[in-house]
Amino acid sequence: MALDNRHNYAISLEEKIRSLFNYERTAIYRLINADNFENNPLSAAFIIMTYIYLKNITELDNKCAELIDKYSIVLENNPFTDTDYINYMEDLSDIINALKK
């Protein structure tokens, strides 16, 4: 997959997380940013975990923690594969979508 596709996934993730928090693009020191998520994909999961704890959404706590455990080793090994990146983004998107319900 081309880097453009990775960036498109990261842009989509940025939009989802910003809408969840109702933040502008420059909020919280630009951490909710596609460039950050493209280069540091796990940072998005940590931000979502923060949201889960702030809102005390216990039913998704374990799911997010399991996602971080599952992908932490894989995504910290640069370069990680496109397949790993896509799977992670899709799994995290599932959690975000559950939070929006």
In the chain, domain spans: 3-99
Say which DSSP state 80 is in: P
- Which amino acid type is present at position 14? E
**If you average pLDDT over residues 43-57, what whole number do you get?**
92
Q: Are 31 and 9 in contact (CB under 8 A)?
A: no
The model's pTM is 0.84
Confidence band (pLDDT; 50, 70, 90) for 7?
Answer: confident
What does the pLDDT average to over 6-11? 88
